[in-house]
């Protein structure tokens, strides 16, 4: 059977499964549509949160980022998991006790202000739309590589599948497809990792293999990797970083941003009890950790495999000839994600770090520049091919990458559509709307959101690469602080919360735009985006944490000099703190 047929079988099979679940889990009421009926088991919910959370960025890009940055990019590992500690202790149980359908609804009620709710809706929509573009684009890449269809065509297919289960089933359909998608993506991610760990270290558990001895050389794997890459002028993989402040703030931004992302918070509304919301957080992190503990092993092992493929006889000997390059290099060259240019016309592939420090060494070996560019996003997708694993593993990876992208896309689309139908239409425009009509409105907003996301995925705006920074910056600087203060402080009032959100958000956006360009339009940045220009060496990607602190400070400051919240609001805060009497989520 050809590789194409195998890929088609795996991807097609997984899609049929999702559609089957969609038909089985059709939503009959707004309660089904927004919170899956409110009866999801905490372990099931944990698994669904895992798929909801782990996006194309986690599945496809993260290992590549770690492979490129080594220790310095551990920030993604800690940042994208540590947020769950905040969620489970500071937000989820109380928001579950509050028992409404959406995140802006809590903000609107707690701060007794429809304007606060509107600001929250806007933050939610901007963060979620930017995030969903990346998912759709990721699905497009996976389609074009593995199913040999045009990226746009692939996107359309993905959109139709998401449409089936998200529009029909809402949160109910999404919950059970996410469980299936979690299983597909985790199997797809770990199987190649186990094989590769066995090949390189003899240890079948990748997180242990990472710290084991490299079988071929007899030295520890990480030491071997360091030796090879420093020989070629790259930074040591395990080297410490100079700018610790930026590393701390970046990690903190990712953690706070994770805890403030509405599509993740919403999933905690689906469990029956407050105690289940706490357990859900733990289970979610267990399922997420299966991938996150494997990713750093995949990263270092794939980088080592790549290096030993190009330099089979060691870094002192000549690299391989271009005509003898392995098959996977040929196949990825077609997609343009691997590029080769024979700069010194010797027919060999020189892969090294083209810096001034390494110039004399390169010249003495007759090298005229780095000749191989490998897009770091292909690392996970090409991993089975690099390690010569059988064809079915490649088919599995294709289905896994799509599962990761689609499950996150569906969660984001639900967050967007419920904000539109519940917070805008029911909350502002037509409060008397019947349940049936609201359900219809939710389905229509979901359909519109899918069309918009597909269009933007096919025609990504110039800022597609920056969207993650924007989504996390917004969630960290606007939503997380007001949610937390809404639970832990009775004193913060409507004026305080709105001014906190607006200044935190405004500050964060301005700092990002100054370096990345206003609205990300190239050439409109005021300062070059280099570490020398950053204030105190704080990167625009790390600024969300500072924005959050400003939000807290302004909200407390303004609240202190304005009127305290009315008694019924203080009673509301009191009631979300005690689990008793939670009942199922409702909109009354």
CB 166 within 8 Å of CB 450 = yes
Among 242, 535, 577, 586, binds other proteins (CB under 8 A): 577
Binding-site size for other proteins (CB under 8 A) equals 53
Nearer to other proteins, 70 or 427 (CB): 70
CA dihedral 187, 190, 196, 201 (to 10 degrees): -140
Closer residue to other proteins, CB minimum distance, 93 or 496: 93
- Examine residue 292 and tell whether it contacts other proteins (CB under 8 A): yes
The partner residues of 372 in beta bridges, in order of sequence, read 340
Stretch that binds other proteins, among 161-169, 387-395, 513-521, 580-588 (CB under 8 A): 580-588
Closer of 8 and 293 to other proteins (Cβ): 293
Q: Which residue has the tokens 């809404």?
A: 486
**Per CB under 8 A, does 307 bind other proteins?**
no
Is residue 210 a contact residue for other proteins (CB under 8 A)?
yes
Contact between 365 and other proteins per CB under 8 A: no
Dihedrals φ, ψ of 353, to 5°?
A: -90, 110
Does residue 69 belong to the site contacting other proteins (CB under 8 A)?
Answer: no
Among the listed ranges 181-189, 191-199, 284-292, 346-354, the one in contact with other proteins (CB under 8 A) is 284-292
CB 23 within 8 A of CB 159: no
Q: For residues 512-531, which are near other proteins according to CB under 8 A?
A: none
With H, G, I as helix, E, B as strand and everything else as coil, classify residue 481. Answer: helix
Contacts of 105 (CB under 8 A, 6+ apart): 117, 422, 423, 427
CA dist., res. 540 & res. 528, Å (int):
11
| Packing angle of the helix pair 103-110, 114-146 (nearest 10 deg) | 170
Please report whether residue 221 would count as binding other proteins according to CB under 8 A: yes
- Determine, following the binding rule CB under 8 A, whether residue 212 of this chain makes contact with other proteins: yes
Q: How far is the CB of 567 from other proteins (least distance, A)?
A: 10
CB within 8 Å of 588: residues ≥ 6 apart: none
Q: Per the structure block, which two tokens stand in for 11?
A: 């991807």
Question: How far is the C-alpha of 242 from the C-alpha of 263, rounded, in Å?
Answer: 35
Among 129, 158, 168, 247, binds other proteins (CB under 8 A): 247
Range in contact with other proteins (rule: CB under 8 A) among 132-140, 185-193, 271-279, 353-361: 271-279
Per CB under 8 A, the list member of 447, 579, 584, 587 interacting with other proteins is 579
Q: Given the rule CB under 8 A, which of 144-152, 456-464, 537-545, 578-586 is the region that contacts other proteins?
A: 578-586
Question: Which is closer to other proteins, CB of 280 or CB of 417?
Answer: 280
Determine the interface stretch with other proteins among 23-31, 381-389, 539-547, 579-587 (rule: CB under 8 A): 579-587
84 near other proteins, rule: CB under 8 A = yes
The whole-angstrom separation of Cα 33 and Cα 311 is 55
CB atoms within 10 A of CB 126: 17
d(CA 179, CA 300): 29
* Residue 581 within binding range of other proteins, rule CB under 8 A: yes
Q: What angle do CA 137, 138, 142 make, to 5 degrees?
A: 120
Confirm or reject binding of residue 282 to other proteins (CB under 8 A).
yes
Minimum distance, C-beta of residue 247 to other proteins, in the bound complex (Å): 5
Q: Which is nearer to other proteins, 336 or 581 (CB)?
A: 581
Distance CA 346, CA 94 (A): 66
Choose the binding region for other proteins from 164-172, 312-320, 445-453, 571-579 (rule: CB under 8 A): 571-579
The least CB distance from residue 581 to other proteins, in Å, is 6
Q: For 397-419, give the secondary structure using H, E and C.
A: HHHHHHHHHHHHHHHHHHHHHHH
Which is closer to other proteins, CB of 202 or CB of 462?
202
**CA–CA distance, 60 with 403 (Å, rounded to integer):** 11
Residue 494 in contact with other proteins, rule: CB under 8 A: no
Decide: is 244 part of the binding site for other proteins (CB under 8 A).
Answer: yes
Query: What is the β-pairing status of strands 338-340 and 372-374?
Result: antiparallel
Q: Give dist(CA 588, CA 579) in Å, integer.
A: 18
242 near other proteins (CB under 8 A): no
**Locus of tokens 């998401």:** 162
Pick 88 or 501: Cβ nearer other proteins: 88
Report the DSSP beta bridge partners of residue 84. none
Binding site for other proteins (CB under 8 A): 66, 71, 74, 77-78, 81-82, 84-85, 88-90, 93, 207, 210-212, 219-224, 226, 238, 240, 244, 247-248, 251-252, 273-275, 278-279, 281-282, 285-286, 289, 292-293, 296, 571, 574-575, 577-582
């Amino acid at each position: 059977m050809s590789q194409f047929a195998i890929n088609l079988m795996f991807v097609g099979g997984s899609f049929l499964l999702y559609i089957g679940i969609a038909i089985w889990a059709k939503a009959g009421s707004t309660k089904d549509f927004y919170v899956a009926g409110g009866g999801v088991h905490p372990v099931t919910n944990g698994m669904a949160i895992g798929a909801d959370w782990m996006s194309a960025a986690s599945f496809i890009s993260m290992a590549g980022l770690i492979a490129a940055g080594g220790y310095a990019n551990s920030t993604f590992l800690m940042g994208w998991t540590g947020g769950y500690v905040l969620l489970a202790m500071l937000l989820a149980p109380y928001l579950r006790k509050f028992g409404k359908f959406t995140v802006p609804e809590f903000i609107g009620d707690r701060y007794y202000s429809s304007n606060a709710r509107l600001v929250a809706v806007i933050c939610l929509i901007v963060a979620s739309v930017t995030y969903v573009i990346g998912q759709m684009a990721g699905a497009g890449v996976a389609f074009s590589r593995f199913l040999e269809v045009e990226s746009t065509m692939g996107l359309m297919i993905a959109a139709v599948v998401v449409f089936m289960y998200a529009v029909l089933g809402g949160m109910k359909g999404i919950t059970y497809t996410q469980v299936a998608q979690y299983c597909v993506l985790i199997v797809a991610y770990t199987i190649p990792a186990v094989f590769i760990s066995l090949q390189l270290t003899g240890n079948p558990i990748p997180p242990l293999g990472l710290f084991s001895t490299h079988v071929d050389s007899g030295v520890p794997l990480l030491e071997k990797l360091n030796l090879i890459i420093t020989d070629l002028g790259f930074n040591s993989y395990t080297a410490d970083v100079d700018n610790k402040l930026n590393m701390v703030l970046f990690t903190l931004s990712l953690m706070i941003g994770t805890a403030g992302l509405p599509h993740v918070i919403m999933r905690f509304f689906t469990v029956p009890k407050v105690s289940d919301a706490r357990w859900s957080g733990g289970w979610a992190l267990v399922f997420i950790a299966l991938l996150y503990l494997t990713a750093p092993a995949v990263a270092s092992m794939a980088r080592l495999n790549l290096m030993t493929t190009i330099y089979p006889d060691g870094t002192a000997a000549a690299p391989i000839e271009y005509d003898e390059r392995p098959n996977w290099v040929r196949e990825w060259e077609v997609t343009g994600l691997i590029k080769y240019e024979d700069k010194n016309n010797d027919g060999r592939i020189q892969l090294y770090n083209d810096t001034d420090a390494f110039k004399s060494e390169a010249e003495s070996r007759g090298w005229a520049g780095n000749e191989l560019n490998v897009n770091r996003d292909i690392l996970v997708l090409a991993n089975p091919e690099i390690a010569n694993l059988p064809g079915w593993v490649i088919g599995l990876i294709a289905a896994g990458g799509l599962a990761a992208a689609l499950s996150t896309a569906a969660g984001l689309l639900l967050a967007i559509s419920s904000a539109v139908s519940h917070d805008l239409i029911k909350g502002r425009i037509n409060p008397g709307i019947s349940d049936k009509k609201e359900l219809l409105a939710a389905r229509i907003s979901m359909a519109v959101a899918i069309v918009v996301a597909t269009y933007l995925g096919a025609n990504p705006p110039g800022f597609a690469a920056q969207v993650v920074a924007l989504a996390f910056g917004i969630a960290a600087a606007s939503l997380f602080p007001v949610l937390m203060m809404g639970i832990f402080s009775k004193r913060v009032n409507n004026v305080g919360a709105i001014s906190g959100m607006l200044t935190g958000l405004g500050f964060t956006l301005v700092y990002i735009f100054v370096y990345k360009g206003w609205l990300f339009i190239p050439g409109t940045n005021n300062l070059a985006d280099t570490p020398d220009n950053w204030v105190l060496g704080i990167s625009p990607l790390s600024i969300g944490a500072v924005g959050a602190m400003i939000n807290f400070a302004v909200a407390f400051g303004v609240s202190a000099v304005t009127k305290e919240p009315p008694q019924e609001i203080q009673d509301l805060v009191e009631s979300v703190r005690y689990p008793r009497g939670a009942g199922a989520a409702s909109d009354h």
